[in-house]
Amino acid sequence: MVKNDESIVIKNVEKRYYTDKGSVLALDNFNASIRKGEFVCLLGPSGCGKSTLLWALGGLHNVTKGEIIIDGSIVTKPRDDIGFVFQDNNLLPWRTIIKNVLLPFEIKNLDIKKYMDHINNLFKVTNLKGCENKYPAELSGGMQQRAAIIRALSCDPSLLLLDEPFGSLDALTKEEMHDLLLKLWHGTKKTICFVTHNIEEAVFLADRIFMMTPRPGHLQEIFNVDLPRPRKISTKTKTEFLNIVDNIRNAIGRSGDFLQ
Ligand SMILES: Nc1ncnc2c1ncn2[C@@H]1O[C@H](COP(=O)(O)OP(=O)(O)OP(=O)(O)O)[C@@H](O)[C@H]1O
Ligand SMILES: [Mg+2]
């Protein structure tokens, strides 16, 4: 039974990869649902199937059992109302930033004019105004990730999927990116599914954290993060924050499965 506020329902999902060396069961019997406008973090050890699940949510590959339902429709292919930020930023080095941002419009044959004000505003809020005609190599790592976020938001999607988008950034830049992402989310209330294997990052960002088991990944436990918003750097020193981090650490039994 799908409840009204459930924007995403993941039902009995299995994903098995077939290779010439045999098959790999990446996800097994994964069940969960995500509410409209919710910020969910998928947390789990390396190789547990986080990217696999995100790709399935984005319709970038099919599941081998079960189904994913978004706004009442079973996902079978990529949708125009989903933005994706990949594990590496995937900017094409031979295209300028604006041409990278506009690539999805070219692929989908969408009318760019309708979105230009929105895109210009994204350049402004991400502090990349003036970088439109630069090439990715001329930008820092943090700037490239911001450009990837602009590209993902350019079609004004209702669902944003982010796969460890800040994993390669230094600590200070990562904090700036968290702040930016939360501001964008507060302003638009898009549904966000954010993959990470960093517990503090998940607690700082999420409304709820879906903790996955090691491969084959399924949902081990859901943690509610009832910390007040807007969240600030000082949130990370609050007892409530540290308690949730501790609860999660205890749940994974300090097994060392999580790389920080
Ligand atoms: N195309 C593929 N073909 C075969 N096996 C794959 C393929 N993609 C992923 N896998 C395997 O599926 C499992 C889950 O991979 P996935 O990339 O989803 O993990 P992850 O949780 O995102 O890991 P990480 O945190 O390291 O990014 C791994 O064992 C991986 O080797
Ligand atoms: Mg991954």
Domains of the chain: 1-81+159-168+195-253 (3.40.50.300)
Which pLDDT score, from 0 to 100, does residue 63 have?
98
Measured by CA distance, the residue closest to atom 27 of ligand 1 is 46
E strand residue ranges, 20-118: 22-35, 39-43, 65-70, 73-74, 82-85
Which pLDDT score, from 0 to 100, does residue 80 have?
86
CA atoms within a 13 Å half-sphere pointing along the CA-CB vector of 221: 10
Q: Which of 128, 133, 81, 130 is nearest to 108 (CA)?
A: 81
Task: Report CA(218)–ligand 1 centroid distance (Å).
Answer: 14
Residues 85 and 148: beta-carbon distance below 8 Å: yes
User: Which ligand approaches the C-alpha of residue 26 most closely?
Assistant: 1
Q: For 22, list phi and psi in degrees, rounded to 5.
A: 130, -160
Q: Which of 201, 93, 86 is nearest to 152 (CA)?
A: 86
Which pLDDT score, from 0 to 100, does residue 3 have?
56
Residues 233 and 175: beta-carbon distance below 8 Å: yes
d(CA 10, CA 123): 34
User: Which ligand approaches the C-alpha of residue 25 most closely?
Assistant: 1
Residues 213 and 48: beta-carbon distance below 8 Å: yes
Measured by CA distance, the residue closest to atom 14 of ligand 1 is 49
Sign of CA dihedral 169, 174, 177, 182: positive
d(CA 180, CA 186): 10
Task: Report CA(1)–ligand 2 centroid distance (Å).
Answer: 30
- Cβ atoms within 10 Å, residue 173: 17
Measured by CA distance, the residue closest to atom 30 of ligand 1 is 47
Describe the chain by its helix, strand, coil percentages, rounded to 5: 35, 25, 40
Show the low-confidence residues of the chain (pLDDT under 70). Answer: 1-4, 254-260
d(CA 100, CA 98): 5
Measured by CA distance, the residue closest to atom 28 of ligand 1 is 47
Q: Which of 195, 215, 259 to mutate to test the pocket of ligand 1 (most atoms within 8 A of CB)?
A: 215
- Three-state SS at 39: strand
Which pLDDT score, from 0 to 100, does residue 6 have?
73
Please indicate whether residue 51, judged by its CB atom, sits closer than 6 Å to ligand 1.
yes
Please indicate whether residue 212, judged by its CB atom, sits closer than 6 Å to ligand 1.
no
What is the spatial order of strands in the sheet that 191-196 belongs to?
82-85, 159-163, 191-196, 39-43, 208-212, 219-224
**69 has which bridge partners?**
9, 74
The position carrying tokens 């988008």 is 165
Which pLDDT score, from 0 to 100, does residue 253 have?
74
Which pLDDT score, from 0 to 100, does residue 258 have?
55
Please indicate whether residue 31, judged by its CB atom, sits closer than 6 Å to ligand 1.
no
Please indicate whether residue 88, judged by its CB atom, sits closer than 6 Å to ligand 1.
no
Show Cβ contacts of residue 139 under 8 Å, excluding neighbours closer than 6 positions.
97, 131, 147
Please indicate whether residue 218, judged by its CB atom, sits closer than 6 Å to ligand 1.
no
Please indicate whether residue 27, judged by its CB atom, sits closer than 6 Å to ligand 1.
no
Q: What is the pLDDT of residues 204-246, one digit of tens each?
A: 999 999 999 999 999 999 999 999 999 999 999 999 999 999 9
Which pLDDT score, from 0 to 100, does residue 215 have?
93
User: Which ligand approaches the C-alpha of residue 216 most closely?
Assistant: 1
User: Which ligand approaches the C-alpha of residue 43 most closely?
Assistant: 1
Task: Report CA(49)–ligand 2 centroid distance (Å).
Answer: 7
Please indicate whether residue 46, judged by its CB atom, sits closer than 6 Å to ligand 1.
yes
Q: Which of 206, 212, 217, 192 is nearest to 245 (CA)?
A: 206
